[in-house]
Amino acid sequence: TAPIPDPTTAPIPDPTTAPVPDPTTAPVPPPTAPPVTAPTGGGDWVEVYKDDFESDQGLFMGTNKRFEPISFPDGNWSLRIKRTSQLKTSWIDIRDYSQLSFKFWMYATGMEVGDNFFFNVRFNGETAFTPVDEWVSGTDFSNREWLEQAVTIGVPAGKRKIQLQFKGDSDKGNDRVYIDQVLLEGNPN
133-155 pLDDT, tens digit per residue, is 999 999 999 999 999 999 999 99
Contact 70, 30 (CB under 8 A): no
At residue 52 the predicted structure's pLDDT band, cuts being 50, 70 and 90, is: confident
At residue 1 the predicted structure's pLDDT band, cuts being 50, 70 and 90, is: low
- pLDDT value for 2: 52
DSSP 3-state of 76 = coil
Burial (CB < 10 A; 0-12, 13-18, 19+), residue 1, is exposed
- pLDDT value for 26: 37
pLDDT surpassing 50 at residue 50: yes
- pLDDT value for 77: 81
**Most confident option among 30-39, 41-50, 155-164, 171-180:** 155-164
- pLDDT value for 115: 87
* Residue 158 neighbours by CB distance under 10 Å: 9
- pLDDT value for 93: 96
pLDDT surpassing 80 at residue 46: yes
Query: Average of pLDDT values for 102-107?
Result: 93
The region of weakest confidence among 100-104, 112-116, 138-142, 170-174 is 170-174
Q: pTM for this structure?
A: 0.74
Contact 152, 100 (CB under 8 A): yes
CA–CA gap between residue 90 and residue 60 (Å, rounded)? 6
CA–CA gap between residue 180 and residue 79 (Å, rounded)? 6
Contact 30, 146 (CB under 8 A): yes
On average, the pLDDT of the chain sits at: 77
At residue 68 the predicted structure's pLDDT band, cuts being 50, 70 and 90, is: low
